[in-house]
A and B are shown apart, each in its own frame.
Chain A
Amino acid sequence: MSEMRRVTAICNGTVVDHIPAGKALQVMQMLRVDIGRSNPISLVMNVPSGKAGRKDVLKIEDRELTQEELDRLALIAPNASVAIIRNYSVAEKRQIELGSELVNIARCSFWNCITQNSREPLPHKLRVISADPLDLRCSYCGRSQSIEELAESIL
């Protein structure tokens, strides 16, 4: 675990490890930890990892991410591992789960989808056709979603 020493251990908070290399910024965006908060965040990118070649690691201090928040990561980092840290040690490990449908996590990116009218009240729903490779389709219009675009359409 030599790469973990690149950033100091945190006292309390959440560590998201094994993020695909280069995706940590998108992960931050999806977790919405990049805006409106003052928690210290450490980010390491492109560190060598036996398992995945290279990986990114994200440490968020003084905040324990909920399962619901973490499940958002299934979109870009389905194999990330998550540890909740309390008093410098791992208190809980959490798995990211990709359900069969993502409800109100991201909006469909198709310009002519009925859900583009922001006043329509029904939830945004994306159906999981396949987890690997990730294939998501809007439950209303049926369009396949580009994962890059989805990061921009997080609710």
Chain B
Amino acid sequence: MAALGFVGGQGMSDLITMDDLTNDEILEILDAAERLLPVANGDVYAPLLQGKVLGNLFFENSTRTRMSFESAMKRLGGEVVNLSSVGSSVAKGETLYDTMQMVDGYSDIAVIRHPRQGAAQYSADAIGIPVLNAGDGAGNHPTQTMLDLFTIRQAHGSLEGLNVVLVGDLRYGRTTHSLSHALVRFGAKLTLVSPESLRMPTEIVGDLQSHGSDVVESENLAGAIADADVIYMTRIQKERFPDEDEYAKVAGIYKMTADDLAVAKAGMIVMHPLPRVDEIDPSVDSTQHARYFQQAFNGVPTRMALLCRSLGVEVPEEVGE
């Protein structure tokens, strides 16, 4: 509820958790991202961030997130410096605090991804420039949630009253936890589809229901398709399981094919944070429902809007004119 992100005394310009944003702010950012679409796909050049330098700090790999931040910054005329942790002072045991002091000097805004939870808030406390959290351990990944919201709104025009079906690993997946929290703020109805062993933690479900939202739990994907406005698939990660047998029981339990979608509403979209394994069959790619590649691209305009916000740069009503 309370804005965890504001605790460290940092300004409005950091983004550590979705709690840092009000509903109105979320919608403003989505509006700005929409105006930036022609810049993101290269049709229009709008050097709104010319002369600014982004410090991209990926203490663990995430190619998609790192590249989309880099693309967002460069499409807006800014520069990017990357930290490569292998063989650097980080590998030599430098504290995060010391690394951040260096970044503070080299850049105007920092994007951080770190295996330890709390690393983004810690960084924001350590330095004066704005910090964007690009994933801290099992903690928060708010820019992913923002691009997911952007993709849903792009398809349906609004976030309110939608029936969103979340499928797969709902126990460990921070992506689905964060997205479901954001969706209930906008009055979405949630259907949670997972095997028994990967159900969403009860305290999170309780939290979602306390917003007055309709939350249904099920193990059956097929039965949830017809009423869905959005089906959000996730990967079941092998490394989450203590042993092979437990993993084998649930691996491949949800495999969506184009045929399964015959009962779907025309406007229903299928999303996935990618990379996928076998939970979405390639036959789905050519249907009108597939939206996961568009979703990955949407990381660029969404992160553009977030970079502009944190750097205090207004996105004009008519970009590039």
- Which residues does A use to contact B, with CB under 8 Å? 101, 108, 110, 112-117, 119-122, 125, 127, 129, 137-143
Contacts of A143 in B (CB 8 A): 117
Contacts of B125 in A (CB 8 A): 122, 140
Task: Closest B residue to A138 by CB, please name it.
Answer: B118
Chain B, interface size category, equals: 20 to 34
Summarize A's interface: helix, strand, loop or mixed.
loop
Contacts of B96 in A (CB 8 A): 114, 117, 120
Cα distance A114–B137 in the bound complex, in angstroms: 9
Q: B7 touching A127 by the CB < 8 A rule?
A: yes
Q: B97 touching A120 by the CB < 8 A rule?
A: yes
Q: B7 touching A141 by the CB < 8 A rule?
A: no
Contacts of A115 in B (CB 8 A): 118, 122
B121 CB–A CB distance under 8 Å: yes
Q: A140 touching B95 by the CB < 8 A rule?
A: no
Q: A101 touching B97 by the CB < 8 A rule?
A: no
Q: A122 touching B117 by the CB < 8 A rule?
A: no
The smallest C-beta distance from A104 to any residue of chain B, in angstroms, reads 14
Known: A117-B96, A120-B122, A141-B137. 14 other contacts (CB 8 A): A113-B118, A114-B116, A114-B117, A114-B119, A114-B122, A115-B118, A116-B116, A119-B95, A139-B8, A140-B8, A140-B117, A141-B118, A142-B118, A142-B121
Cα distance A101–B4 in the bound complex, in angstroms: 12
Can you name 15 A-B pairs with beta carbons within 8 Å? A110-B117, A112-B117, A114-B117, A114-B122, A117-B96, A120-B95, A121-B95, A122-B125, A122-B126, A127-B4, A127-B7, A139-B121, A140-B122, A140-B125, A141-B139
